[in-house]
Structure formats: structure tokens, C-alpha cells
Amino acid sequence: MATSILSDEKLKKQFEEDLRTAAAAVKRPNILLLGNTGVGKSSLINTIFGRKLAEVSHLKPQTRGFHVYSTPEVPVNIIDSEGYELENEARFKTTLDEYIAENFANLEKQIHICWYCISISSGRVLPFDIENIKHLQSKKIPTAVVFTQCDNDDPEGSTAKSLSDVIYRNFGNSIPCFQTSNDPEVNKELDIDKLIEWSANNISDENLRLGFVAAQKISLKEKDDAASTRVNWYTAGAAGVGASPIPCSDAVLLTGLQVKMAADIYNIYGLDNAISTVLRNVIQGKVVSMLGKMIVGNILKWIPGLGTAAGAAINAAVAGAITFAMGKALAALCHQAVIDSWEGKDNMLGDLFTEENLDTLFSQYYKK
């Protein structure tokens, strides 16, 4: 009966196609990264995206004064300004205006958010910083001030608080400030998670936001929230499928929808960017195998007469519950896979994606 719904080969082919489709739908947000030379911009990017983008990038020449760094493995573009230009307000404003004018009509080339970096080590916010931020505001670019190298501050964060007060006096709550460090342990006590949350919330286009969420390697919460939203969307779609009066069509449509959901979740967690090609292929093969047995097994369990004259259409509530549990279970496995990858435990990932683990999680979420 399993092969009458979707064979393993068809499942594998569909999963791979859906992965490509999901990846293609994700757009690259453009992050304008500003700050003088030596403030730690490259270190900030390396910390957030786990890559030294300036070193591995496919550099794209742009308007004088700006460089765009990108790489296929990380779905974001970093627009970097030559640091010394910031000290010349007129030159910076002219260069920024030229860049905006050239790319205004193209959503994928516009500046979506700006991180304005100021080093704690400098101990001051300069007048040209204030003027530059005002100009960014006038251009309607969502901007956050990122205080870098905060491990050089005192334990009370006195310098960061003092600099934040300067920003607040000039901009009120319209320009948020975030404290960051290159040290992962220090970052746990700072604002890098909040910077990721602010950034995701201020990228207005959903596909651009998904690109950022998948690329960043700081906040699992952002990935979890995005996956949860997609699971709910697919659950609603599954309930619609369950309202159909045609049993066999129900099964085929439901299976296809759940495979697409799995590819979407896999893509949101950015597993393709987090692990080696060999391990990626192993995990994808296991996911396909698990999906085939799990999806078909649950459909047959709830519709014993499927494909016969006596077979009943899938109940909408059951179709939704199966899809919800499947999505949440797979998201939980991907969540743990990201943790293991970030902690350098890639060798454990092969043992994570097992039918037993998926079945246990599925049962837990199905009862909910």
C-alpha cells in the first residue's frame, strides 16, 4: 500500500525538488555594515554567520565606497562601507544616496537593515556618527547601533551605558543599541540575541527574513519561531485536504504537502549551510526514509480502507493533527542538529535522525 501512495524513489525525488524550491524562494537580505576601520565589523559578521565573509566572498563591485560580500553558503549580502568615508559626512551622504538611487526600484538590491558599529574601546560617539545615523533615518533605513568589543568594558558595562545614553538623547527609542563581543561566553550576557531578533523583525519581506533567519548562527529561537509559523501554515493546509471527499486523492495530496513541509523546515534551520556535503547527503537520505514510513504509516493507520470502496476520506482534524505532529517532530530534530553542529558535534548527527527518535517526538506532539 505504501508504494501506491508515493514510492521511496518518488519521495526522495520530491524531497530534493522541494528543497531546491524552498532554497530558491529564500531571498538574500542586504545588511549595510557601517563603522570605522578597526571597530570589529568583520569579527561581528564572523560571529553571527559563522563565516569570514570578506575572505570567502564573491566580491561584487558596487558604487564607489561600498563593497558587497556574498557567498553561496550564506544567504545574506553584506554591504560594507570603506571606514574612512564615515568621517567625511558629505562624502558618506553622497555615496549612500547614490547607492540608494541606483538600487531603489529593486527589492533584492535595496538596503534592508543597517548595523552601525561603534567600538567600546573608542569610548565615544562622535558628532559624525550622529549625523550619519540621522541621514540613515532620513532614508527610512531601519538602523541599529551595535557596540562592539564589549569584553573590553568593565563588569557593569559602564562605557556601553554611557554611549547608549548619547544615542538616546539624540534619537530617543527610534535607534536601538545592542552590546556585542567576539567571545561566545561574554555574548551570553550581552545583546547579540536581541540584535538578531531586531534584525529579523525589521526585514519586512518574508522571504528576505527567512534568508536572514536561516543564515544566522546565534538565535535558535528565531529559527524555531519561523519553523513553527510554517508548521501551522501546513497544518491548516492539511485540514483543507482532509475536507476533500475523495480518499485516495486525500492521501496523495497529504503526503506531498508533508514532504514539502519537511523540506521547508530543513531549509529554515539552514542545515545545508551548517554541515558537510557528505553528512548532508546522509541526513537527507535518512529524512526521506523516515518520512516515507512515517507519513504512509499514519495515513494507513487512520484510514484502513484507503483505496477501497469502503475507504473513508481523511478527517480534517486528523489530517491536521498528523501534519502538525510531523512538522513539530522534524523541527525538534533539526533544532538539536543545529545545536550539535554549533558545538562541533557533527559526528552525532547521523544518530539523531532515526525512525525511533522521530516516532517518539511524533507521538508526543500528536497527543497535544
Q: How far does Cα 341 stand from its chain's mean position?
A: 15
The residue with greater pLDDT, 31 or 88, is 31
Summarize pLDDT for 326-345 with one digit per residue, the tens: 899 999 999 998 888 888 78
The pTM is what?
Answer: 0.83
Segment 114-141 shows an average pLDDT of 92
Task: Give the helix/strand (H/E) hosting 307.
Answer: none
Predicted local confidence at residue 293, as pLDDT: 65
pLDDT tier for residue 130 given thresholds of 50, 70 and 90: very high
pLDDT tier for residue 61 given thresholds of 50, 70 and 90: very low
Segment 106-134 shows an average pLDDT of 90
Locate cell 570567502: which residue?
Answer: 56
Predicted local confidence at residue 131, as pLDDT: 92
pLDDT tier for residue 246 given thresholds of 50, 70 and 90: very low
Of 152-156, 230-234, 312-316, the one with minimum mean pLDDT is 312-316
Spatial distance between the Cα atoms of 95 and 366, rounded to a whole number of angstroms = 55
Which cell is 254 given? 497529504
Of 132-136, 311-315, 354-358, the one with minimum mean pLDDT is 311-315
Locate cell 575572505: which residue?
Answer: 55
Q: Inform me whether the pLDDT recorded for 28 exceeds 70.
A: yes
Task: Give the helix/strand (H/E) hosting 60.
Answer: strand 60-61
Residue 123 sits at φ, ψ, to 5 deg, of: 70, 15
